[in-house]
């Protein structure tokens, strides 16, 4: 079986654009991969994808199977995506014909993991790390897959700002699997500018969150909707030849007030976090050693 897997996480390439990040390394269990050995290398450095209708939403700009190795993995084994710079934008993270190397991702995808926010005392907490680890579902059929990880940054609230997808795809060959047939979605098409998780404003009345995209597939089924921290309900199985994993993330991270912003009083923004811009109502004071610099009228960051 050939297919496409998608998880939720973060991604972007090198570091010519300040303040962004990219998933550039895939490890299988304790076996370390080198930079872009198993991950398709993109051509837009560490810049995000913002066009919901673009095929670049699948694996990033210019990312093809040319020169990328395909790594063998057993169903049920763990994998880890690593970024060049730790993720700092608040938001959720979510984990074919021919070989994986020749597959363009135009078939179906299904999601196997979301890292959503948790809410406590009126504030949201996100998993903002440089590594994201999960397991290949034990029930997926043997075959070659694209394993996608993506983060959606919503630190520039829609519609004044445009949410940002940080996405990467790894090429894997699964063995020892099962016979599951998860329901799938297409990319582009899985995310819409009317999705609550796409239009959410983390600086105003932010008390709940629904991760964009399909529900999370699990071999055993169950789970809740794809809101903060829980595994969404498994969709009804349908015949498919592809699998996928996807990540989503939102907003920049003030050090003392993640989630609601609320001006500069009593809080500060970590280096490379957002500190201003049209429509922004979060912290405006930067952590010691950095200053707030305007990139454009909608976005300023601590550098």
Q: How far apart are CA 47 and CA 29, in angstroms?
A: 29
Q: How far apart are CA 151 and CA 267, in angstroms?
A: 25
* DSSP state at residue 109: B
In the numeric block, the tokens 């829980």 are attached to 230
Q: Where does 1-251 sit in CATH, by number?
A: 2.70.50.70
Looking at residue 126, its pLDDT comes to 87
Instruction: Calculate ∠ Cα 78-146-21, nearest 5°.
Output: 75
Instruction: Calculate ∠ Cα 128-261-209, nearest 5°.
Output: 60
Q: How far apart are CA 254 and CA 125, in angstroms?
A: 11
Distance of alpha carbon 242 from the chain centroid: 19
| Helix (H/G/I), strand (E/B), else coil: 199 | helix
Spell out the domain ranges in the chain.
1-251, 253-303
Q: How far apart are CA 69 and CA 227, in angstroms?
A: 35
Looking at residue 267, its pLDDT comes to 67
Q: CB neighbours of 31 closer than 8 A, spacing ≥ 6?
A: none
* DSSP state at residue 118: E
Interstrand relation of 118-120 and 114-115 (parallel, antiparallel or unpaired) = unpaired
Q: How far apart are CA 71 and CA 94, in angstroms?
A: 21
Q: Whole-model pTM? A: 0.70
Closest CA to 281 of 267, 295, 296: 267
| pLDDT, tens digit only, all 303 positions of the chain | 345 665 532 222 222 233 488 899 999 999 999 999 999 999 988 888 999 999 999 999 999 999 999 999 999 999 999 998 876 444 444 544 468 899 899 888 999 999 999 999 888 998 888 999 999 999 999 999 999 999 888 888 888 889 999 999 999 999 999 999 888 999 999 999 999 999 999 999 999 999 999 999 999 874 333 433 322 222 222 222 233 444 333 333 333 333 333 333 456 777 667 777 766 666 788 878 788 887 666 667 777
């Amino acid at each position: 079986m050939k297919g496409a897997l998608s998880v939720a996480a973060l991604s972007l390439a090198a570091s010519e654009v300040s303040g962004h990040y990219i998933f550039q390394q895939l490890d299988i269990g304790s076996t370390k991969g080198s930079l872009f050995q198993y991950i398709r290398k993109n051509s837009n450095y560490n810049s995000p994808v913002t066009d919901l209708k673009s095929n670049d939403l699948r694996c990033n700009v210019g990312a093809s199977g040319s020169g990328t190795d395909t790594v063998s993995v057993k169903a049920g084994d763990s994998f880890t995506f690593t970024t060049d710079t730790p993720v700092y934008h608040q938001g959720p993270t979510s984990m074919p014909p021919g070989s994986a190397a020749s597959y363009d991702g135009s078939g179906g995808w299904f999601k196997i993991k979301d890292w959503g926010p948790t809410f406590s005392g009126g504030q949201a907490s996100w998993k903002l790390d440089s590594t994201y680890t999960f397991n290949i579902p034990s029930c997926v059929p043997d075959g070659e897959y694209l394993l996608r990880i993506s983060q959606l940054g919503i630190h520039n609230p829609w519609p004044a700002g445009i949410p940002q997808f940080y996405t990467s795809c790894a090429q894997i060959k699964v063995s020892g699997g099962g016979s599951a047939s998860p329901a799938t979605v297409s990319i582009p098409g899985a995310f819409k500018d009317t999705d609550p998780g796409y239009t959410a404003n983390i600086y105003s009345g932010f008390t709940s969150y629904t991760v964009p995209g399909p529900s999370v597939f699990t071999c055993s089924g169950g789970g809740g909707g794809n809101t903060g921290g829980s595994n969404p309900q498994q969709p009804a199985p349908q015949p498919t030849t592809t699998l996928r994993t996807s990540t989503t993330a939102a907003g920049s991270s003030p050090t003392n007030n993640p989630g609601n912003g609320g001006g500069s009083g009593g809080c500060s923004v970590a280096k490379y976090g957002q500190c201003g811009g049209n429509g922004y109502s979060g912290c405006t004071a930067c952590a010691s050693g950095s200053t707030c610099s305007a990139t454009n009228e909608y976005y300023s960051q601590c550098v």
